[in-house]
């Protein structure tokens, strides 16, 4: 399991802009670099990130090797109702990780 960092304010006023920032610890090996033995290291990247709010897909992204190591993705959600945010990362070598955060709208 890779370490993740998710920053979502725990509470927000209705209609506010909720800044969602996510980061996952991952090398994002491009498949172009040579290893210590001189041979090219195989590609190992995160290919897809998605964020669901109460099971509704609100944001997703296809990542390519040009995304830096430890992919950081940030976007701005609108606070409409309280609920659960589910973040998932899928990638090479069967990587699949899901984390969640709760948002309370007052």
Q: Which residues bind other proteins (CB under 8 A)?
A: 16-18, 21, 30, 32-33, 53, 56-69, 71-80
When the beta carbons of 29 and 99 are compared against other proteins, the nearer one is 29
Nearest partner of 52 among 25, 24, 20, judged by Cα: 20
* Least distance in angstroms from the C-beta of 75 to other proteins: 6
When the beta carbons of 35 and 98 are compared against other proteins, the nearer one is 35
When the beta carbons of 70 and 97 are compared against other proteins, the nearer one is 70
Residue with tokens 């006023």: 13
* Least distance in angstroms from the C-beta of 4 to other proteins: 15
* Least distance in angstroms from the C-beta of 74 to other proteins: 4
Q: How far is CA 51 from CA 19, 37, 56, 66, 106, in A?
A: 13, 39, 8, 21, 22
* Least distance in angstroms from the C-beta of 94 to other proteins: 22
| C-alpha to C-alpha distance for 65 and 91, rounded to whole angstroms | 11
């Amino acid at each position: 399991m890779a370490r993740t960092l998710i920053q979502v304010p725990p509470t927000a006023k209705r209609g506010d802009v909720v800044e969602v920032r996510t980061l996952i610890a991952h090398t994002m090996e491009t498949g172009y670099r040579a290893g210590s033995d001189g041979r090219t290291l195989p590609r190992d990247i995160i290919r897809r990130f998605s964020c669901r709010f109460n099971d509704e897909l609100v944001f997703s992204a296809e990542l390519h090797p040009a995304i830096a190591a430890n992919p950081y993705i940030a976007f701005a959600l609108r606070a409409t109702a309280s609920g659960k945010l589910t973040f998932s990362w899928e990638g090479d070598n069967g990587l699949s990780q899901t984390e969640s955060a709760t948002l309370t709208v007052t």
